[in-house]
């Protein structure tokens, strides 16, 4: 029985459930182990292998989520700051939402992993989260989901309605442009040039009026192009100018690996920045600084002086 074919899409599913790529990998490994041990009891007359694996994965995720706090972004915990000099103290006791490394899975399984959407889903109950993903993202029927969750079709429909209502405030994720859209690439080109030049006015011109900047594990966040720019002034004052940037994607969004200049030459990996581009401008930037999070992206820690970032 072939299970490996489904590993990538199961990782994406478990990530959306738990908000951590590393944990999603572990949960899928547990799913595969359970499936292998139960393979003799599998009945293809009752469900396809894919449906059966999703039932196991759902149970594994629900068990893992029992009694656990949700994974937020800083913007989900309180009001924005207006002080660009506020202390950058990490809140290490918060299980922060983590980014998803697109390069680790096939492109067709990345539906529904936008950071804002995954963050909003974390506020749902675990079962509502599962129903929403299985029905709206993965397109299982209500009857299939009822079987996967050991419940009834009316219960599934009710949970789906509540989940959709709870996510109504997130907005239309289709308004967020794809990273390979030429217009998005042009915006990112300009953003990279401004960032590497430490040209804060040029950065601000590329932002929407209410652009959001957040930096887990620091609970601090800012809203508005003015405060965004004032904080970037602080960054360049603290870390210097002459940064280097490489490009990738995360959560189906354009992303940048930012390398800070080092006193002895070269650049050291500093942050992963996941950008939201809408209407030809940058509407959001989630800046991840936790080294444990960055390991999922297989990024080099050091760039030599002769390195030319890809464009």
Domains of the chain: 4-173 (1.20.140.160), 175-303 (3.10.450.50)
Using pLDDT thresholds of 50, 70 and 90, give the confidence band for residue 119. Answer: very high
Average pLDDT, the chain: 92
- Residue 34's pLDDT is 96
- Residue 174's pLDDT is 47
pLDDT at 300 over 70: yes
Q: What's the whole-number mean pLDDT along residues 74-92?
A: 94
Q: What 3 state SS string does the chain have?
A: CCCHHHHHHHHHHHHHHHCCHHHHHHHHHHHHHHHHHCHHHCCCCCCCHHHHHHHHHHHHHHHHHCCCCCCCCHHHCCCCCCCCCCCCCCCCCCCCCCCCEHHHCCHHHCCCCCHHHHHHHCCCCHHHHHHHHHHHHCCCCHHHHHHHHCCCHHHHHHHHHHHHHHCHHHCCHHHCCCCCCHHHHHHHHHHHHHHHCCCHHHHHHCEEEEEEEEECCEEEEEECHHHHHHHHHHHHHHHCCCCEEEEEEECCEEEEEEEEECCCCCEEEEEEEEEEEECCEEEEEEEECCHHHHHHHCCCCEECCCCCCCC
Residue closest to 272 by CA, chosen among 252, 250, 240: 250
- Residue 243's pLDDT is 96
- Residue 311's pLDDT is 53
Compute how many other C-beta atoms are within 10 angstroms of the C-beta atom of residue 221. Answer: 23
37: its two tokens: 């041990």
Using pLDDT thresholds of 50, 70 and 90, give the confidence band for residue 265. Answer: confident
Over residues 168-227, the pLDDT tens digits come to 866 555 456 678 889 999 999 999 999 999 999 999 999 999 999 999 999 999 999 999
Contacts of 132 (CB under 8 A, 6+ apart): 121, 124, 160, 163, 164, 167
Share of the chain above pLDDT 90, in %: 81
Q: What's the whole-number mean pLDDT along residues 116-145?
A: 94
Using pLDDT thresholds of 50, 70 and 90, give the confidence band for residue 309. Answer: low
- The backbone torsions φ and ψ at residue 118, rounded to the nearest 5 degrees and listed phi first, read -65, -40
105: its two tokens: 């899975």
Q: What's the whole-number mean pLDDT along residues 46-70?
A: 93
**CA 227 – CA 220 distance, rounded (Å):** 12
**How far, CA to CA in Å, does 269 sit from each of 188, 194, 258?**
19, 18, 6
Using pLDDT thresholds of 50, 70 and 90, give the confidence band for residue 152. Answer: very high
Contacts of 133 (CB under 8 A, 6+ apart): 13, 16, 17, 112, 121
- The backbone torsions φ and ψ at residue 172, rounded to the nearest 5 degrees and listed phi first, read -90, 110
Q: Which of 102-106, 121-125, 165-169, 200-204 has the lowest mean pLDDT?
A: 165-169
Q: Which of 169-173, 267-271, 292-296 has the lowest mean pLDDT?
A: 169-173
- Residue 94's pLDDT is 95
pLDDT at 287 over 90: yes
141: its two tokens: 């029927």
Q: What's the whole-number mean pLDDT along residues 55-78?
A: 94
**CA 9 – CA 4 distance, rounded (Å):** 10
97: its two tokens: 């939402």
């Amino acid at each position: 029985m072939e299970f490996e074919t489904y590993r990538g899409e199961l990782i994406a599913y478990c990530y959306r459930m738990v908000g951590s790529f590393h944990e999603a990998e572990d949960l899928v490994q547990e799913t595969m182990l359970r499936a292998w041990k139960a393979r003799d009891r599998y009945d293809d007359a009752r469900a396809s292998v894919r449906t059966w694996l999703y039932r196991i994965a759902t149970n594994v995720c629900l068990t893992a989520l029992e009694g656990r706090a949700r994974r937020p972004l800083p913007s989900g915990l309180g009001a924005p700051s207006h002080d660009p000099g506020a202390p950058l103290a990490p809140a290490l006791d918060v299980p922060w939402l983590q980014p998803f490394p697109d390069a680790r899975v096939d492109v067709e399984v990345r539906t529904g992993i936008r950071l804002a959407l995954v963050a909003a889903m974390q506020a749902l109950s675990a079962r509502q989260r599962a129903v929403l993903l299985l029905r709206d993202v993965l397109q299982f029927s209500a009857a299939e989901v009822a079987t996967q969750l050991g419940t009834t079709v009316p219960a599934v429909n009710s949970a789906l309605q509540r989940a959709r209502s709870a996510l109504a405030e997130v907005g239309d994720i289709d308004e967020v442009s794809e990273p390979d859209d030429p217009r998005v690439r042009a915006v990112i080109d300009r953003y990279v040039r401004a960032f590497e030049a430490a040209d804060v006015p040029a950065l601000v011109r590329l932002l929407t009026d209410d652009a959001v900047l957040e930096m887990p594990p620091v609970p601090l966040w800012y809203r508005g192009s003015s405060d965004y720019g004032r904080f970037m002034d602080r960054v360049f004052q603290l870390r210097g100018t002459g940064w280097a940037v490489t490009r990738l994607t995360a959560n189906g969004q354009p992303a940048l690996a930012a390398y800070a200049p080092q006193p002895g030459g070269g650049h050291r990996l500093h942050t992963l920045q996941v950008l939201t581009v809408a209407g030809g401008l940058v509407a959001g930037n989630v800046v991840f600084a936790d080294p444990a999070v960055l390991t999922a992206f297989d990024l080099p820690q050091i760039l030599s002086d002769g390195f030319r970032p890809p464009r």
